[in-house]
Structure 1
Amino acid sequence: MKNKQTKEGTKMVIRENYLINAKTVLFYGIYYENGVLFTFVIEGNDKFLVAMSPLKLIDNTLTSYGSSFKGALESSRKLLGRNRKMYPIKIDASLDIWIFPSKSYKKENCVWFVLNHVENTKLLSLKDTKVFLKYGHEIDIKMRESSFRNKRGCAADLRDMILRNTKGALKYDQVPEERWVIVEEMGKYECRGSEEER
């Protein structure tokens, strides 16, 4: 972890490694020394830079949680339909971390919001919106309030779909009554009821 002087003259902590977690509020790309793209992060009441791009940060986090940016994006596309331009991403369902972009993730000024840290919005002008976040944070973004609400709603839809799909998973203590015996014969497998084996 390093301290570096910013253009404003205040020292900013730079982390070499970081994982998006339950206290991450938002993050976005910021060009630092020598034009290198870093990520500005607000976590709880702290702010700092991470020495990697926002997409690298997302991919590293997903890899640590057993997924990848490409896989999470494809999952969102399949669940929400392919007629959207920007998709939310599931970081970790068990930690309730879902993120969504303010604009195309390929754009340098894309802000990534963590769904459960967005509390409310306020219309500032036709194309300007104030977003109220947990911990008392606020951010003004160049976006119609209706567009922001749609992106937030899309992330909530993704969360609802995934949680609904995983809610009814069979528990280990719910053992089915029927038993099956699988036998290999002549190089092939055959599935039989346990009664047939007696």
Structure 2
Amino acid sequence: MRQKTIKNSEMKQEYGISSETIVILPDFDENGFLNALICKKDEITKAGLSPYDLIDMNLRFRGSSMRGALDGARTLLDKRYMNPVILDKERDIILFPSRSPFREDCVWLSLRHVRSYRRSGTSHTLVELSNNSTIRLDVSFHTFNKRIQRAYELRYKMQAQMIRFESQVVESGAGYHLKKSKKGLNYVGVEET
């Protein structure tokens, strides 16, 4: 797999993954290099990066990374492999892999754009997307179902965690005042006089 290092400031607008991104496909060029096809509602754009690197670049542009997103998903889901990633929780952009994200033939789907899916033979799944397009994936229905359920579980757990955290922040607590200790190394709480 080809790896490119791109600085955040160099990210091309057409490489941006947005709420309109439906699926990210692997695509090999004439020299055998892996690129990504970004399928949006009305257009398909070719990116000069692998799907994995494209998602990583978009996460870095938002202040994270693929490793951080996968580690976060692993923590929330308590599952080690093939986890979805939250690209942007405010815009509900959750991407999940059809197979191992490290495989060159991995297809990434946006959870919000999967309308329905069904068996298509013994080892394939036909997925209907939000723009009435379809994609036939070479992954079994059972495996695809596990992947999409894991993505829904990640969305639910992230939302539940945020609600829990926000409700704890709103509760009033005891006031305190902090100042540096006499030695000036640490802060200590002091009572008002």
Query: TM-score, normalised on structure 1?
Result: 0.83
Instruction: Extract unaligned runs of 5+ from structure 2.
Output: 1-11
| Partner in structure 2 of residue 166 of structure 1 | 162
**Structure 1 residue matching 2:15: 3-state secondary structure:** coil
Q: Contact conserved, 1:17 with 1:51, CA < 8 A, in 2?
A: no
How many Å apart are 1:176 and its aligned residue?
2.6
| Partner in structure 2 of residue 180 of structure 1 | 176
Q: Contact conserved, 2:17 with 2:58, CA < 8 A, in 1?
A: yes
**Structure 2 residue matching 1:176: 3-state secondary structure:** coil
Stretch of structure 1 that moved more, 161-170 or 38-47: 161-170
Structure 1 position 34 matched with structure 2 position 35: no
Q: Contact conserved, 1:16 with 1:51, CA < 8 A, in 2?
A: no
Q: 1:28-67 counterparts in 2 under 5 A?
A: 28-67=25-64
| Partner in structure 1 of residue 91 of structure 2 | 95
Residues 186 and 174 of structure 1: is their aligned pair in 2 closer, same or farther, counting only changes over 3 Å? same
How many Å apart are 1:189 and its aligned residue?
2.1
Indicate the percent of aligned positions where both proteins have the same amino acid: 28
Q: Contact conserved, 2:14 with 2:45, CA < 8 A, in 1?
A: no
How many Å apart are 1:175 and its aligned residue?
7.3
Q: Contact conserved, 2:82 with 2:97, CA < 8 A, in 1?
A: yes
| Partner in structure 2 of residue 197 of structure 1 | 192
Residue from 53, 71, 77 that aligns with 1:80 = 77
Amino acid at match of 2:104: E
Instruction: Extract unaligned runs of 5+ from structure 1.
Output: 1-14
| Structure-2 separation of matches of 1:175 and 1:161 | 22
Moved over 3 A (4+): 168-171
Q: 1:80-159 counterparts in 2 under 5 A?
A: 80-82=77-79, 84-159=80-155
Q: CA RMSD in A?
A: 2.0
**Structure 1 residue matching 2:189: 3-state secondary structure:** strand
| Partner in structure 1 of residue 21 of structure 2 | 24
Query: TM-score, normalised on structure 2?
Result: 0.85
Query: Which protein has the larger Cα radius of gyration, Structure 1 or Structure 2?
Result: 1
How many Å apart are 1:151 and its aligned residue?
0.3
How many Å apart are 1:177 and its aligned residue?
5.5
Deviation per residue, 1:128-171 (Å, 9 max, x gap) = 21101101010011121121111000011011111111124448
| Structure-1 separation of matches of 2:179 and 2:130 | 57
Number of equivalenced pairs: 179
Structure 1 position 69 matched with structure 2 position 54: no
How many Å apart are 1:33 and its aligned residue?
2.9
